[in-house]
Amino acid sequence: MSKLTLLACSVLGLPAIVTAQDASAWRDSAYRITAELRVVRDSIAREESGMEEIARRPGLLVSATTKYQPIAAEVLARFDSTRRRWFGEAFPAAEGFRIVLRTGDRWSTRRRGGGEHSLMIIGLPDGEAASRVSPLVRESELRGPEEATRSFLDQFGRMMMGATGAPLQRWIPTGIPLMISDAARREAAMYALVTGDGPAQRDCVTGVLAACGYVLGLRESATPDPGAKYLPLARADLLLTALDLGGPGAWDRLPDAPGASIEAHLAAAAGMPPDSLLARWRNGLLALRPDHGPLDVPTIAILLGWSGLVLIGALGIARWV
């Protein structure tokens, strides 16, 4: 029998109709996975098992698992103090917020004894439309009250920027650096101001406010080759300066400013014209300039002396090798 004949017999021997595979099993599996994902998602919207409420402040409460209960009350106090300084009574959503910081196994689904620990701050009333995040963080970020507060402020700053609208979010894509101390942030912004080597950056130092507006991403340049702009940290420092100058209610005025420009928002928050805000920001940073270099003469002499000794020692060793 030829190969062609065998092939023909095989084809004729097959059923005329091939029944499709039943999809009900696949559908049930998809429904089950969807339900499990919904449970994981909804766990952010309710207190996890093992969490206990530790303390309350007006409009806020903090809960924690056993590991973080000793620091929970202090974290809430620190968080509330900084929040009120910059944002007053404002929340990222009218129905509140919920921030759950978790440490432990990223893939663990166990609620008790599974190696996962949580610290949570809730802004009341914590309704269905409340802003909610539940990131997994390193244990070092919740090591103590100071570190934990910085972690909460980082998340809360992102939430608040997310509530301002797209223009401000694009202007400061990294969020508000609330986790950085005022002194550290201002010092970094000062060095960005005085060390910029672009034409517009140098003009800003000398007092050309139009150049300051350009390098801060607020205005278009009036010159053909203005050079680079400042990094988002300098922009965030300007925003925090506007909130600081504006006092109570500054944040509430920020998103409600008339007009679409970032300058209009910042000026409304600060309660002053845009050029006045830029001038206050620039003058405040220039006042922080150190009156001496990072290394004084004795320190330089010591470093040079030690360098000379190391060089002499190296040459001496090389002589005998």
The string of pLDDT tens digits covering residues 24-36 is 555 555 555 544 4
Quick check: helix, strand or coil at residue 46?
Answer: coil
CB atoms within 10 A of CB 185: 18
Integer distance in angstroms from the first to the last C-alpha of the chain?
88
159 and 227 inside one domain: no
85 within a domain of the structure (yes/no): yes
Query: To the nearest whole percent, how much of the chain has pLDDT over 90?
Result: 61
Q: Averaged over 261-267, what is the pLDDT?
A: 93
**Cβ atoms of residues 50 and 114 within 8 Å:** no
Residue 267 identity: A
195 and 105 inside one domain: no
For residue 255, whether the previous peptide bond is cis, meaning omega lies within 30 degrees of 0, is no
The residue among 119 and 306 whose pLDDT is bigger is 119
249 within a domain of the structure (yes/no): yes
Last residue of a domain, one of 95, 130, 163: 163
Q: How many CA atoms lie within 13 A of 169 on its CB side?
A: 9
Distance from chain centroid for Cα 287: 28
267 within a domain of the structure (yes/no): yes
174 within a domain of the structure (yes/no): no
100 within a domain of the structure (yes/no): yes
197 and 242 inside one domain: yes
Measure the CA–CA gap between 321 and 318, rounded to whole angstroms: 5
Sorted by sequence, the CB contacts under 8 Å of residue 148 that are 6+ apart come out as: 68, 71, 75, 101, 119, 141, 142
Record the tokens describing residue 24, joined without a space: 């009900």
The total domain count for the chain is 2
Q: Averaged over 43-58, what is the pLDDT?
A: 74
Q: Which structural domain, as residue segments, surrounds residue 249?
A: 182-286
Measure the CA–CA gap between 97 and 120, rounded to whole angstroms: 11
**Cβ atoms of residues 268 and 247 within 8 Å:** no
pLDDT at 222: 84
Measure the CA–CA gap between 104 and 126, rounded to whole angstroms: 25
pLDDT at 174: 82
Measure the CA–CA gap between 204 and 216, rounded to whole angstroms: 10
CA trace torsion 217, 186, 246, 282 (10° rounding): -60
Identify the band that residue 108 occupies on the pLDDT scale cut at 50, 70 and 90. very low
pLDDT at 299: 47
Record the tokens describing residue 46, joined without a space: 């309710």
Q: What is the mean pLDDT of the chain?
A: 81
Q: Kindly tell me if the per-residue pLDDT of 48 is higher than 80.
A: no
